[in-house]
A = this chain, B = another copy of it.
Amino acid sequence: MTPTATSGVAGQAKTRASAFIDKARLWDRHAAMAKLGGTPNGGVTRLALSTEDIQARELLRDWAHALGFEFAMDDIANVYIRRHGRRDDLPPVMTGSHIDSQPKGGRFDGIYGVLAGVEALQAIDEADIQTERSIEVIGWTNEEGARFEHSLMGSKAFAFPDRLESLRAIKDRAGITVGEEVDRAWRTLSGVQRRPFGTSPYAYIEAHIEQGPIMESKGKQVGIVTGIQGWRRFVVRIEGESAHAGTCPQANRKDALMAATRVVTALSELMADPDDVVRFTVGRFNVLPNSLAVVPSTVEFTIDFRHPSEEVLTDRGDQIQGLLERNAAPCTTTLTEISREKPIHFEDDAFLAVRDAAAALPIPQMEILSGAGHDAQNMHKLCSTSMIFVPCERGISHNEAENATPEDLAAGAQVLADALVRLAG
């Protein structure tokens, strides 16, 4: 099945799945889900594999069964809701996102992608569309990495099953392992089908809130995601010498904070970008001995540098070492690259299905690059992958104040439903 072959189906306006997307139903499911870990300030704390996170799986199971869909769970507690296609032997088309939240996080980050998938499946059902391939909604485990410090965990296990044992061994701050909590999820959801790892879908689409302000500022309801930018992350350590703030002449100082200030200023210049595409953040910054009357001996800070172009990541990232040497004297520096991810570009079937499905609908839309990382990064290694964004208020996310409108959520689900049909044929 190719998108071209399926577009005929979607072209029949009366049977378009998007017409059956129910804005109120989708919103109500968000409200029901937000009760699981709901905070007094209107946010959600649903940490990965917590009781609330397991309850969310039960709720998804109940909805799936009520709609007549199949429900399954795998060995890292990812959950699957399946609507069978005519050719159940073919790799399915998948959609979804993560179930967990940040501590004091929002009601939409992650779970929107799961609930939009459920809504799309129900709409396809109500439109009475019979697809060739099966369509599955997946709810990923521990995307956030907030409780268990390994983000994108569920999709990692799905894409690389040989990592399962090491992922199960990761502990939270209380010493509880992922494995223990997965086993608890299995006891709670005993009786559900066990889904084996090791299969690749035909395609994967992830719907998500933008977590940035771009679409809102442009008045768009749907973002056709063109890719996920790559990143390079560094730790810079600057070593000077502590000294008495009252007695040590400025000329004799090796002030690590002043060196860090010069370095950060120079980094800002290196990362300057009139097009505002470069993302450059010094997020963690620690000073020693951090005492009022003592000239700082040591500063350690992080650089988070992201860009959609691997060439830019290489070119500017590789200039950091020389920049340190030129700006930190008389202090010494060490630079450590702690992680690097190549940019991902969505351009094949899944992307075209989203783009064409959106184009066929009267929804304000735009192409947009994902600044944040998503489970789609792991899925991209397995199959044709794309993403759909909807705006969130002021771009605020990872925050109890995270907000989105029922209209925008429904618009994203409409595009998702039609794109899934295009891919499933």
Contact = CB atoms under 8 A, between A and B. Distances in A.
B290 A285 contact: yes
B281 A293 contact: yes
Given A242-B399, A284-B290, A286-B287, 16 more contacts: A212-B244, A212-B247, A213-B249, A244-B397, A245-B279, A245-B281, A246-B279, A246-B306, A246-B372, A249-B276, A251-B276, A252-B395, A283-B290, A292-B302, A293-B304, A294-B398
Contacts of A284: 287, 290-292
**Candidate in A252, A293, A373 with the most chain B CB atoms within 10 angstroms:** A293
20 contacts: A211-B244, A211-B247, A212-B244, A212-B248, A213-B249, A213-B252, A244-B395, A245-B281, A248-B279, A249-B276, A250-B278, A250-B279, A250-B280, A281-B293, A281-B294, A282-B296, A283-B292, A284-B290, A284-B291, A285-B296
Given A246-B371, A395-B243, A265 B261 contact: yes
Contacts of A158: none
Contacts of A262: 265
Task: Give how many copies assemble into the complex.
Answer: 2
A252 B215 CA distance: 13
Contact of A245 (B246, B261, B283, B395): B283
Contacts of A233: 292
A258 interface: yes
B264 A257 contact: yes
Given A285-B296, A291-B283, A246 B229 contact: yes
B294 A283 contact: yes
A268 B261 contact: yes
Closest 7 CB pairs of A and B: A212-B247, A247-B371, A245-B281, A246-B371, A246-B372, A245-B304, A285-B287
A283 B293 contact: yes
A178 to B, nearest CB: 21
Interface in A236-280: 242-252, 255, 257-258, 261-262, 264-265, 268, 273, 276, 278-280
A66 B278 CA distance: 75
A79 interface: no
A286 B286 CA distance: 7
Interface string A397-408: 111000000000
Nearest to A280: B250
A138 interface: no
A259 to B, nearest CB: 11
A343 to B, nearest CB: 12
Contacts of A282: 257-258, 296
A91 B214 CA distance: 77
Contacts of A286: 287, 290
A204 interface: no
Contacts of A349: none
A375 interface: no
Interface in A293-335: 293-296, 302, 304, 306
A243 B372 CA distance: 11
A140 interface: no
A210 interface: yes
B257 A285 contact: yes
A374 to B, nearest CB: 10
